[in-house]
Amino acid sequence: MQFRPLKRFGQCFLDDESVAEQIAETIELDGKNVLEIGAGTGILTAFLAARAKKVTALEVDARLIPELRQSVLEFDNVEIVRADALYSEFSGYDAVFGNLPYNISTPLLLKIIESNSPFAVLMVQKEFAQRLVAKPDSREYSRLSVLAQNNASVSIISFVPASCFSPSPRVDSAIVLLEKKRASQVNKLDAALINSLFQHKNQTVRNALMHSAGNFGFGKEEIKKAVAKLSLSERRACSLAVEELTLLSDEWKRAIKATTKKKTVFNPTLIRYLPL
């Protein structure tokens, strides 16, 4: 490697071809158009190119482009694009792949969820993967779990030790597969409600909402009356599965309307503006 890896670009390069091959083999790629985020020096890109119809390889760091180009010299189905993935289009592909720069995993995941690409196979930090698949009542269950599982079936394909990268990161990694749900299968969760519940996730729904009156722009009395109409108000927020959060969102919308004569605003993207 003739260049100094940059921390700000999360540059820990995969050093183990068998892991790159495993990532590329996670889903059938025959005839598929694939986007790769952060192609680096191309270890994964070559395995994708050998299987897919076309690979669009995004890489932000111009220093890596010559080596990336060299890695895929034998393929004529790779388009190398020097671009910042955070400002690139993720829609219009059959699948998105990437050994992600871990410092921007969350915004990249949100972009993948918002895109119309039906599959994603991603290498992420192990703890991030565990939050994606976490079930209610576990320590890792968070808004990230709710957001991911409401929009996709998420599974961990395998764990990858830090020793498979160069330079070695201080954390282990995991390969995750997201199979996106159809729009009709995605529940309409009330973002302000979910944010408020998970800000106080070990409290009951009643207490979490009372402590978050400011999030809704209503007074404590109004919140108290609305909470009294909720069937799950005595449950701890972190115990609620996505389906229960959906029921709660519906009840909350009706309760707020009945007690304040105001409408809650369903804003599907609001959930992304707080740290996940």
User: Where on the chain is the footprint of ligand SAM (CB under 6 A)?
Assistant: 9-14, 38-40, 43-44, 58-61, 64, 84-86, 99, 101, 104
Query: What's the closest the beta carbon of residue 154 comes to ligand SAM, in angstroms?
Result: 20
Query: What's the closest the beta carbon of residue 10 comes to ligand SAM, in angstroms?
Result: 5
- Report whether 205 contacts 248 (CB < 8 A): yes
Query: What's the closest the beta carbon of residue 143 comes to ligand SAM, in angstroms?
Result: 23
Is the CB of 99 or the CB of 264 nearer to ligand SAM?
A: 99
Bridge partners, residue 213, by sequence: none
Query: What's the closest the beta carbon of residue 12 comes to ligand SAM, in angstroms?
Result: 5
Is the CB of 58 or the CB of 230 nearer to ligand SAM?
A: 58
- Report whether 26 contacts 157 (CB < 8 A): yes
Is the CB of 27 or the CB of 104 nearer to ligand SAM?
A: 104
Backbone φ and ψ of 163, nearest 5°: -65, -10
Query: What's the closest the beta carbon of residue 11 comes to ligand SAM, in angstroms?
Result: 5
Is the CB of 64 or the CB of 176 nearer to ligand SAM?
A: 64
Q: How far apart are CA 51 and CA 111, in angstroms?
A: 25
**Torsion of the alpha carbons at 178, 249, 193 and 225, rounded to the nearest 10:** -170
- Report whether 248 contacts 256 (CB < 8 A): no
Is the CB of 40 or the CB of 190 nearer to ligand SAM?
A: 40
The DSSP secondary-structure symbol of 163 reads G
Q: Which residue's beta carbon is nearest to the bound ligand SAM?
A: 38
- Report whether 68 contacts 42 (CB < 8 A): yes
Residues comprising the chain, all counted: 276
